[in-house]
Amino acid sequence: MSSVLFTPLSLGPFGLVNRIAIAPMCQYSADDGCASLWHLQQVMQYAMSGAGLIILEATAVERHGRISHGCLGLYSDANEQALARTLAAARAVAVPGTRFGIQLAHAGRKASTQRPWQGGKWLQPHEDPWPISAPSAVPFAPGYQTPEALDDAGLARVKAAFLQAATRAVRLGFDVIELHSAHGYLLDSFLSPHANQRTDCYGGDRDGRTRFPLELAAAMRAEIPASMALGARITGTDWSENGWSQDDAGEYAKGLKAAGAAYVCVSSGGSIPGVSIPSGPGYQVHLAAHVKRASGMTTRAVGHIVTAEQANEIIAKGDADMVALARAILDNPRWVWHAADRLGAKIEYPPQYARVAPSLWRAAHLARPEDFKA
Ligand SMILES: Cc1cc2nc3c(=O)[nH]c(=O)nc-3n(C[C@H](O)[C@H](O)[C@H](O)COP(=O)(O)O)c2cc1C
């Protein structure tokens, strides 16, 4: 199979060395939004991975926009300084050409929850919960806090927080800002007819519900330099009746393109509780393919993409322009090196590790027992 996965891709103002992205993954290991030693090892490891694009985890634009007490933030000078150290260390060991992005996020009605390994439920009174906000005063699920519906001043505050975090991301030297408008967090809850019950110009039909995220995307694009790319994570479907559909996602992607975004990453689910999601290999790829066809937008597929051949085929078939991997990278940080070997693509190894190149030895992860016979 020829390796299209390892061909370059133009992403707005610059090129990516290959079509592989590391998906944003919350580590719940920050201290009041500040990146920790855990992030240092994590992002340095990503930097050496060979992936063309690395998107740092959902990063809250305001303190109350964090999912949990452990979420990364970019709402204070201390946050910015901590991330500057992390990014400088990552860039120092990065494979040449690696591009770094940050996912800017606001958790909306899913904020103020425990870390997953502490239960993932809404914070209890003794756990220092905080007030949450959303488009409408509709709780995510029974038991969750009822959010305060954002009024005009609240919308202005959120918009200003996104723009200020974007300014910090520019100062930090990121290549990409990815707006998180998926998984039921603030921007996604504007899109969702289940969560958004507003009667002003930011609710109602699809045009109304997409208005705030699209205005925000356009304002962010105007705020950041032309040398940076703006992208967005979007919901391909919320998997519910009368909810957010793949057609809605296609139209929303068109709007993002008009607002100046360079790509969308098509995920799904998380918008409402209790829906059945047919998770399995490549289960969201058809959503990316639909969005790509409908919008003509550079599109990233994500979700249960595990093997090199599977990733390559998604690109070869034209279902997406790039793929994002999350759990496969946590499981095997050398995934890209091994994929290149399987697909016959030549990649740069860090010189310190050059002797692990499969042309110089038969790597254990690939070997069949007969390779080791005398
Ligand atoms: C530990 C973990 C943390 C995640 N955090 C984020 C996040 O910060 N932002 C986001 O958009 N998605 C997040 N996700 C979802 C992933 O980016 C990805 O879309 C999902 O895991 C499906 O991809 P996979 O099958 O390759 O794991 C997270 C997933 C995992 C496993």
Domain parsing of the chain, residue ranges: 9-372
A 10 A CB-CB count for 43 gives 24
**pLDDT on residue 2:** 73
What residue type is assigned to position 256 of the chain? Answer: L
**pLDDT on residue 93:** 97
CA distance 191 to 256: 13
pTM of the model: 0.97
**pLDDT on residue 343:** 95
**pLDDT on residue 34:** 99
Residue ranges in the chain whose pLDDT is less than 70: 1, 363-374
What b/e readout covers 248-258, taking b as 16+ CB neighbours within 10 angstroms? bbbbbbbbbbe
User: Rg for the chain (alpha carbons), in Å?
Assistant: 20
Strand 176-181 with 99-105, pairing: parallel
The CATH number of domain 9-372, selected from 3.40.50.170, 3.40.50.720, 3.20.20.70, 1.10.3720.10: 3.20.20.70
Residues 6+ away with beta carbon under 8 Å from 64: 111, 112, 130, 131, 132, 133
| Ligand 1 pocket test target in 20, 25, 302 with most atoms within 8 Å of CB | 25
- Report the nearest atom of ligand 1 relative to the CA of 284: 22
**pLDDT on residue 48:** 96
CB neighbour class for 101 (10 Å; exposed up to 12, middle 13-18, buried from 19): buried
- Give the N- to C-terminal CA distance of the chain in Å, as an integer: 30
**Catalytic amino acids?**
185
What residue type is assigned to position 338 of the chain? Answer: H
Pocket flag, ligand 1, residue 243 (CB < 6 Å): no
Pocket flag, ligand 1, residue 103 (CB < 6 Å): yes
